Amino acid sequence: MAQSTSAKSSDTDSFKETFESIIIAFILAFVFRAYVVEAFVIPTGSMAPTLLGAHLDLSCSQCGYRQNIDSRAANSRWANNGLTLICSMCNYPNHADPKVTRKPGDRILVHKFIYNISEPKRWDVVVFKNPQQPYDNYIKRLVGLPSERLLIVDGNVYVQPLDDPDGPWRVVRKSDRLEVQQAVWQPVYHSRYYPLDQGKPSERRGMEYAWSFPWKADSADQWERVDRLRLRHDSASEAALTFDFQTLIQGQINQIGNMIGWYPYSQFSGTPSQEPIEEIRLAVRVIPDTRGLAVTMQTTARIDGDYPVRVEASIDGQGNVLIITDGQVRATEQIMPLAGGRASEIEFWLVDQALILWLDGQVICQWAFEVPLEQLISRPPPRPLPVVKIMVSGSPVTLASIDLDRDLFYSSTNIMRQQGRGALIKDGRMRKGGPVALEADQFFCLGDNSPHSSDGRYWTGVNPWIHKRLLEGKQQYLGVVPRELMIGKAFFVYFPSPYSLSPTGANIVPNFGDIRFIH
């Protein structure tokens, strides 16, 4: 009898301990969620392609390029016969069945405690309560910090200390945080995406238009295509390739009636964005036959004057590295000459008033410059397209890949042609717009999908409760995010949009390849 009572008492104690453990686990989970880390779902494409909202995920049937487009915007074009998706690499019109399953937005983790122990940093991806509708959570990139003036000019961001109205304005560089700059490059064309049909006219592609490889040789006999994806130059003499932007643009115009503006994610979001391209990343993988290969990468940009000049970075056959603008040497370094029989990855960045040359993932030479604000304001807007060129000499060489990307361009207007707050608009000789003034505990946030983002540039009001308690008496109250509305820093995509087993099936297959840290 005593043993039975003891057994019942032991079972009761075990149940109580288990119940208490469950309750404590729930309490800890709620505390963790409330104060440390919380999961969010990306609802829209304002941060694309860095973070994806609800979208379609298709691979081009000709070149294999993986294409994401805003499914909410595509709904307006979605008919019984499906949707035609133009590949931004080879311009092939891919047909998407109307039954194709839309994918949900990325699921992310947000560190909610970090800004209690450290200050927010420029270029962080942050989650905050929308000052217009504080029951909505927004996710954007933090661009403007407290106690500074901020002005967007020709796609770049410039700041000045708020307490020094006569002080110099300076450009803020994403390349100061290299992982951020690497995250926001947007592809123009990558040579490994070469269509199986070689771009020839067809009933599907359109008989009136034939796609062609956009890198054009100065002479037809200088380069030979090898294995469909590589280019071969068989002598040590000089050979050049120049990028023909019109090849891609013309195809996009013929297929969808207008230029997609290098925002392929938003190609169905109303009026396409035709923004100029000036700041670029050019990367080439070279495999020289022998030691002594010289490589020069060129583009055009405005450095000291109002109009574009030639800008180049080169590695000669002896390992001398030069950065040159309009014939003037700006920076030099010495490295080992490029080795024969081995692939070398060379990258040239022109971004945020800095020129940076990379070799095999390491910066080997760079030069930064500052343009006075008065000149930035008075000079014409950037020309629509640069002249981009690659030259080689000194050894027979194989080019395994060539990538051309454009930098994130912060628009001064959106697709509805609304003027952006804190942005300068250039219309002939007329200049419109001015800076935003961020007081203590105020931040300015923008979306990576710049012309398609509802952010601080375009907010038209403030919730009365927020205004009275947080912004009353402030010089700047439209477009800013008060510190009290900051939720935290987005740092990890823990569950990217999953795959489906069939085009029309449920999205149930985990997508481990896109799990990533957020920069």
pLDDT band at 508 (very low <50, low <70, confident <90, very high): confident
Query: Which of the listed ranges 1-5, 42-46, 334-338, 493-497 does the model predict with the highest average pLDDT?
Result: 334-338
Q: Is 320 inside a domain boundary?
A: yes
CA atoms within 13 A on the CB side of 394: 22
Q: Are residues 398 and 416 in the same domain?
A: no
Q: Are residues 271 and 308 in the same domain?
A: yes
The number of domains in the chain is: 3
More confident residue, 76 or 118: 118
Task: Write the DSSP assignment of 182-228 as a string of letters.
Answer: HHH-EEEEETT---TTTT---TTT-TT-----SEEESSTTS-EEETT
More confident residue, 411 or 2: 411
Q: Please tell me the least confidently modeled range out of 220-224, 248-252, 319-323, 483-487.
A: 248-252
Q: Are residues 485 and 423 in the same domain?
A: yes
Q: Is 79 inside a domain boundary?
A: no
The answer, yes or no, to whether residue 179 has pLDDT greater than 60, is yes
Q: Are residues 222 and 352 in the same domain?
A: yes
Q: Please tell me the least confidently modeled range out of 44-48, 150-154, 283-287, 462-466.
A: 44-48
Domain boundary among 373, 406, 439: 406
The pLDDT of 337-364, averaged and rounded, is 97
Q: Is 167 inside a domain boundary?
A: yes
The pair of structure tokens assigned to 111 is: 């560190």
Is pTM beyond 0.85? Reply is yes
- Smallest Cα–Cα separation from 110: which of 27, 23, 51? 51
Q: Is 369 inside a domain boundary?
A: yes
The mean predicted confidence, pLDDT, of the chain is 87
pLDDT for the residue 234: 95
The answer, yes or no, to whether residue 346 has pLDDT greater than 60, is yes
Q: Are residues 323 and 202 in the same domain?
A: yes
Tens of pLDDT, residues 399-431: 999 999 999 999 999 888 889 999 999 988 899
pLDDT for the residue 35: 52
3-state secondary structure of 399: strand
**Is the separation of the CB atoms in 262 and 385 below 8 Å?**
no
The pLDDT of 248-271, averaged and rounded, is 65
Which residues span the domain enclosing 247? Answer: 198-406
Q: Are residues 315 and 222 in the same domain?
A: yes
The answer, yes or no, to whether residue 509 has pLDDT greater than 70, is yes
Q: Is 10 inside a domain boundary?
A: yes
pLDDT for the residue 50: 93
Whichever domain contains 211, its CATH number is 2.60.120.560
The answer, yes or no, to whether residue 264 has pLDDT greater than 90, is no
Q: Are residues 117 and 265 in the same domain?
A: no
pLDDT for the residue 102: 79
Q: Are residues 325 and 211 in the same domain?
A: yes
Q: Are residues 267 and 327 in the same domain?
A: yes
Q: Are residues 399 and 418 in the same domain?
A: no
The answer, yes or no, to whether residue 271 has pLDDT greater than 60, is no
Residue that has been written with the tokens 């009761």 in this structure: 12
pLDDT for the residue 28: 43
Q: Is 260 inside a domain boundary?
A: yes
Residue 25 burial (C-beta neighbours within 10 Å; 0-12, 13-18, 19+): exposed
Domain boundary among 345, 377, 406: 406
pLDDT for the residue 375: 95
Q: Are residues 399 and 339 in the same domain?
A: yes
Strand partners, 443: 481
Q: Is 286 inside a domain boundary?
A: yes
Residue 254 burial (C-beta neighbours within 10 Å; 0-12, 13-18, 19+): middle
pLDDT for the residue 199: 86
- The sign of the CA dihedral 86, 92, 98, 99 is negative
The answer, yes or no, to whether residue 301 has pLDDT greater than 60, is yes
pLDDT for the residue 371: 94
Q: Is 170 inside a domain boundary?
A: yes
Whichever domain contains 176, its CATH number is 2.10.109.10
pLDDT for the residue 274: 67
The answer, yes or no, to whether residue 330 has pLDDT greater than 60, is yes
CA atoms within 13 A on the CB side of 411: 25
The answer, yes or no, to whether residue 289 has pLDDT greater than 60, is yes
pLDDT band at 25 (very low <50, low <70, confident <90, very high): very low
Q: Are residues 319 and 391 in the same domain?
A: yes
